[in-house]
Copies of this chain bind each other. A is one copy, B any other.
């Protein structure tokens, strides 16, 4: 008879409007069988780290027209990527004890029915496991594919990155440096600005909350204009960037965190610069670049080993801390990649 354990889980209580509150989520306790159902190819995992990412918030709102990821369903567990240990497996490619990363639930144990399409072995165990929620996981490949495949940087380009100490942008900034670009980041606190300059090696950085006039702040950092803007925030920052773009410049739309809690998004007014300066903007979803994960992982592991890329993580401890950690992304509480340590081993 298979062991049955109690399983604490974070469920979405109701669809969210505006800034999410802890009350929009609920901790519940279910029972989970640690063995896979007889004859199935599923695996059961113990969740070690779960990732907190801005797009999770978008899934908490009901979209009348289906968006690129399904909305969560109230009453069901929140899902996102994480790092897990296999507890039991009915799939030949996984065995108990394997360390994996991929899509899981915000809970202690998760039954994964189609492991081949959603979880991956951890290949570089020389790094902290948590890196697979960040620099070696989705944020890492998002930065890598977004910067190299969409932004297509050249040596000497002037690169601006917003939300620059966040999970994706901290990597983008360092990849820009590796490419020989001049890179400036914006962030929401002096602590983060300091981190950008000292830890991540950005050439310059500024605290956008302290600037009376964003367009001027950007101009001060880029007197000759911007070749590539890697946009994670949208809204007012995007509007202030547009007049500062160089002719032929490229905007890579990766995320728009400033907009996710607004029922009516901010209007961006400076779009005529697209014509006047022959600008390009391209949005992307990392799912398009799934096929390049292996190449990315190998290259990024090299950068990490050589110290050319470093990362800063912000750990929330315990599943109970997950709702507040998610909300903190939108108030700027996290410093670096936000994740939740559900269990240390």
Contact = CB atoms under 8 A, between A and B. Distances in A.
Contacts of A276: 67-68, 283, 285
A272 B284 contact: no
Interface string A320-338: 0000000000000000000
Interface residues of A, number: 34
Contacts of A283: 273-280
A265 interface: yes
B285 A278 contact: yes
Given A278-B288, A280-B282, A283-B279, A264 B269 contact: yes
A276 to B, nearest CB: 5
B265 A272 contact: yes
A272 B259 contact: yes
Given A269-B266, A270-B265, A280 B281 contact: yes
Taking the full assembly, how many copies of this chain does it contain?
Answer: 2
B278 A281 contact: no
A27 B57 CA distance: 60
A171 B276 CA distance: 22
A288 to B, nearest CB: 7
A60 interface: no
B284 A278 contact: yes
A243 interface: yes
Contacts of A243: 65
Interface string A273-304: 11111111111110010000000000000000
A267 B272 CA distance: 11
Interface stretch (A85-93, A119-127, A196-204, A249-257): A249-257
A96 interface: no
A185 interface: no
A269 B265 contact: yes
A278 B252 CA distance: 10
A234 B273 CA distance: 11
A199 to B, nearest CB: 27
A271 interface: yes
Contact of A274 (B65, B253, B273): B253
B275 A281 contact: no
B284 A281 contact: no
Nearest to A282: B280
Most buried by B among A67, A266, A267, A273: A267
A268 interface: yes
Nearest to A267: B267
B275 A256 contact: yes
B265 A266 contact: no
A238 interface: yes
B272 A234 contact: yes
A278 B283 CA distance: 4
List the 9 closest A-B pairs by CB distance, nearest first: A267-B267, A274-B283, A253-B274, A275-B283, A265-B269, A280-B282, A68-B276, A281-B281, A256-B272
25 contacts: A68-B276, A234-B271, A238-B271, A253-B271, A253-B274, A256-B275, A259-B272, A265-B269, A265-B270, A265-B272, A266-B269, A268-B268, A273-B283, A274-B281, A274-B283, A275-B284, A276-B285, A278-B282, A278-B288, A279-B281, A279-B282, A280-B281, A280-B282, A281-B281, A281-B282
